[in-house]
Amino acid sequence: MNTLAKIGDNNPPDPLDDAIAPYSDDISEAEAWLDGAAVENEGQMRAVDALLKQIKAAEKAVTGAQKSEAAPLHDAWKAALARYKPTLDDLDRIKRGLIAAVDGFKRKLAADRAEAERKARAEAEAKARAAHEASQRAAASDLEAQRAAAEAQREAEAAQITAAKASKATKETKGLRTVTKYEVTDHRALLHWIAANDRDAITAFLDEYARRNHSMGCQRDGLRVWPEKVAY
């Protein structure tokens, strides 16, 4: 005879539910305690400590269930990363090699184009000034002067077009980007500048330094370290 299926037989157990279920009453009681009021006597302290012990146990159980459920997924994730890594590393080496091979030429090309643009703009500005001066000098009744002024204007417009094309060529140099580089040339001078102009940065550094190094055992000027008991 086949055993009759019961409601829920098709649903696998949930590790999270199984881990937290034994502590549901403790959690409800703890939530009731947390109404904003502080502990005022030893009886309340013992009750809260007992609840705290159960909540810590619940936390440990849930953490264990989390690790148990996540471990296979994490292992699969790590395996996928490991499988792709050699190919990605090799592609990165090839990419960096190609960039290194073309870097010098692209820099020179960009510099040449920038210089050509500078010269074209300088010539365009000079021709524009010449055209303006010729126009100012040419009397309406002087046909040759008017023709010379018109020719100067055409040359100025042509030079402007050439400058625009040179600018476009400079911008179209592919595969180059502008990066900001830096070098600390005098650490003491930089420290003094920061102290005078960016006090927040100094404060943040000192706070982080104290946090990371206060327990190293040696006394430091300007830093007070003391033991203090706190609940945990």
Surface-to-core class of residue 202, CB atoms within 10 Å of its CB (0-12 exposed, 13-18 middle, 19+ buried): middle
- In this prediction, residue 10 has a pLDDT band, given cuts at 50, 70 and 90, of low
CA distance 207 to 74: 36
Instruction: Provide the mean pLDDT of the chain.
Output: 85
Residue 205 domain flag: yes
Q: Are residues 166 and 210 in the same domain?
A: no
Query: 136-154, pLDDT tens digit by residue?
Result: 777 776 677 778 777 777 8
Please indicate, yes or no, if residue 223 is contained in any of the structural domains: no
The answer to whether position 230 is within a domain reads no
Range of the domain at 65: 15-82
Q: Residue 195, Cα to own-chain centre: how many angstroms? A: 26
Do 77 and 92 share a domain, yes or no?
no
Secondary structure class of 180 (helix, strand, coil) = coil
pLDDT band at 4 (very low <50, low <70, confident <90, very high): very low
Q: Is residue 231 part of a domain?
A: no
Rounded Cα–Cα distance for residues 92 and 98 (Å): 10
Tokens of 68: 């148990």
Q: Is there a single domain that holds both residue 152 and residue 98?
A: yes
| 35 lies in some domain | yes
Positive/negative CA dihedral, 126, 129, 134, 135:
positive
Percent above pLDDT 90 for the chain? 50
- Measure the CA–CA gap between 120 and 126, rounded to whole angstroms: 10
Q: What is the sign, positive or negative, of the torsion defined by CA atoms of 87, 88, 89, 92? A: positive
Q: Please, which residues have CB within 8 angstroms of residue 210's CB and are 6 or more apart in sequence?
A: 223
Q: What is the CA radius of gyration of the chain?
A: 38
Q: Render pLDDT for 21-66 as a digit per residue (tens, 0 to 9).
A: 999 999 999 999 999 999 999 999 999 999 999 999 999 999 999 9
Choose the final residue of a domain: 37, 55, 82.
82
Q: Are residues 101 and 63 in the same domain?
A: no
**Residue 193 and residue 131 share a domain:** no
pLDDT in tens, 90-133: 999 999 998 899 888 888 888 887 887 787 788 777 778 877 77
Q: Is the pLDDT of residue 208 over 60?
A: yes
- How many C-beta neighbours within 10 Å does residue 166 have? 21
**Same domain for 54 and 95:** no
Residue 101 lies in a domain: yes
Total number of domains constituting the chain = 3
Please check whether residue 220 lies inside any domain of the structure: no
